[in-house]
Amino acid sequence: MYKKLYPGHTAEGMNIGIIGLPKSGKTTIFNALTGQEAEVAEYASSKVEPNVAVVDVGDTRVDRLHEMYQPKKTIYATIEFLDFVGGTAGGKSSGSEDGIFSGEGISLIKNSDALLLVLRNFANATLEQAHGAVDPTRDLENVESELILADQVIAERRVERLEADHKRGKKTSQSQAELKLMQRVVAKLEEGGGVRELELTADDATLLKGFRFLTAKPALIVLNSDESSYGKNAEVVKQLELRYPVIEFAGNFEMELSRLEPEEAEAFMADMGITESARTRLTSFAYKLLGYISFFTVGEDEVRAWTIRDGENAQQAAGTIHTDLAKGFIRAECFGYEDLLEAGSEKAVKSKGHFRLEGKEYRVKDGDILNIRFNV
C-alpha cells in the first residue's frame, strides 16, 4: 500500500517517522496523532508495511485568513506520519536490515525529515516477559545504538569504497575530502555519537545529505506513559532530556480521546490536566524544536499554509510552492499576518506602508504572507 506513496510521492510539509523498540506503543501514538484505527497488539503481527497518515496542522491563523478571504479552498500545512513496525529487539549487527527496522522499513525511515522516538513507560505483564521491565533510559540507548549501527554500515562501506578507488589510482581532491569526512563520521559513530553532532562546513553538509544518515535527523522523544503515572515522571524526563527534547503522552488514553467528539474529549482532557489534543501538542512542539515555520499564500481561490525551515529565503520558500517559482523568481510581495490583522485588510496594509517587495535572499519569517512574482 505504501509503495504507491514512494518514491516521489507528493505529500507536502514535513514527514515524521515514528520509531522505537517493539511494543513501545508506536501504533498507539500514531493513532492518537492521526485519529486512525491501525491495529494495536500485544503480540507480534505479520504486518510489515508502515502505517501512513497525513494530518492537518491546526493553525488559528489559517482559520482567520479563511474568514477574511472567503476562498474557495483552504489548505492547512500537513505533517505526514509513518508508523514503523518494530522487529526483533536488540537487533543483529550484521547489517542495516535487521534490528528495529524490519525489511524495507529502513529505506522509508531514511526519507523522514525527523524521527519520533517512542519509549515505553507503561507496565504490562505480557510485554515485560519479552521486553523487560519499564526502563525508558535503557530503551533509548537501545534505539540509539540501532540508529548508529545502521549509519555505521553505510559510512564504513563508503570509506572502503573510496579507499579501494584511491588504491587503484582513482583519486581526486574531491574524493580525498569525502574520505576524510567519512572517516570523521565513522569515528563519531564509533564513540557512540550521532552525525548531527559533527561540526560541518556547508560543503560537507551537502555531501552528507545524500547519505540520509539516521543519526543526522532531528529527533524528539515521546515518553509513552501509563495513565496513572502521566505527569509524574519528572526524573525520567530530565534524564531523557539530556539527549533529546521530550514530550510526554498517555498513549492509550490519548488514542481513545482522538476517537471522541471534541466536546466529549474536552471533559476527559480536563480531568487529566491536558489542555490540547495530542496532535496539536505534538505539531507545535515539533515545529518549534525542529525549526519549522509557516508562511501563507492568500487569495480568493485559495488560502494556504506552507512549511519551511526557519532561515530559508524567499527563493527557497517559492520553491516549496513550485520549482518554477524558484527558478523564475523575480520578487516576493510580502506582508506579515500580524500586520494584516492589525490593519484589517490588504489595502490598509499598503496604506500603512507595511507592504514590502523582497528579493531572493530575504529571510522569510513565520507568518509572512507571500505572493511570488516569477517569470518562466
Which residues contact ligand GTP by CB under 6 A?
A: 20, 22-28, 40-42, 85-86, 122, 124, 224, 226, 250-252
Q: Which residues have C-beta within 8 Å of that of residue 132, sequence separation ≥ 6?
A: 138
112 binds, among ligand GTP, Mg ion, none (CB under 5 to 8 A by kind): none
226 binds, among ligand GTP, Mg ion, none (CB under 5 to 8 A by kind): ligand GTP
Among 15, 24, 27, 307, binds Mg ion (CB under 5 A): 27
Q: Select 116 or 154, whichever has its Cβ closest to Mg ion.
A: 116
122 binds, among Mg ion, ligand GTP, none (CB under 5 to 8 A by kind): ligand GTP
- Residue count of the chain, please give it: 376
Q: Which residues have C-beta within 8 Å of that of residue 276, sequence separation ≥ 6?
A: 269
Q: How far is the CB of 30 from ligand GTP (least distance, A)?
A: 7
Q: How far is the CB of 133 from ligand GTP (least distance, A)?
A: 14
Helix, strand, coil % over all residues of the chain, rounded to 5 = 45, 20, 35
Q: How far is the CB of 255 from ligand GTP (least distance, A)?
A: 8
Q: Select 16 or 318, whichever has its Cβ closest to ligand GTP.
A: 16
Q: Select 67 or 227, whichever has its Cβ closest to ligand GTP.
A: 227
23 binds, among ligand GTP, Mg ion, none (CB under 5 to 8 A by kind): ligand GTP
Give the distance from CA 271 to its chain's centroid.
30
Q: Select 86 or 91, whichever has its Cβ closest to ligand GTP.
A: 86
- As beta bridge partners, residue 149 has none
Q: Are 249 and 220 in contact (CB under 8 A)?
A: no
Q: Are 51 and 17 in contact (CB under 8 A)?
A: no
- Looking at residue 298, the DSSP 8-state letter turns out to be -
Q: Select 44 or 164, whichever has its Cβ closest to ligand GTP.
A: 44
Q: Select 13 or 251, whichever has its Cβ closest to ligand GTP.
A: 251
* Closest to 61 measured CA to CA, from 371, 370, 368, 333: 368
Q: How far is the CB of 112 from ligand GTP (least distance, A)?
A: 16
Three-state DSSP class for residue 215: helix
- As beta bridge partners, residue 48 has none
Q: Select 45 or 70, whichever has its Cβ closest to Mg ion.
A: 45
- By beta carbon distance, the residue nearest ligand GTP is 86
Q: How far is the CB of 39 from Mg ion (least distance, A)?
A: 8
Q: How far is the CB of 87 from ligand GTP (least distance, A)?
A: 8
Q: Are 332 and 370 in contact (CB under 8 A)?
A: yes
Please tell me the distance from the alpha carbon of residue 302 to that of residue 287, in angstroms, as a whole number. 23
The angle subtended at Cα 167 by Cα 163 and Cα 173, nearest 5°, is 70
Binding residues for Mg ion (CB under 5 A): 26-27
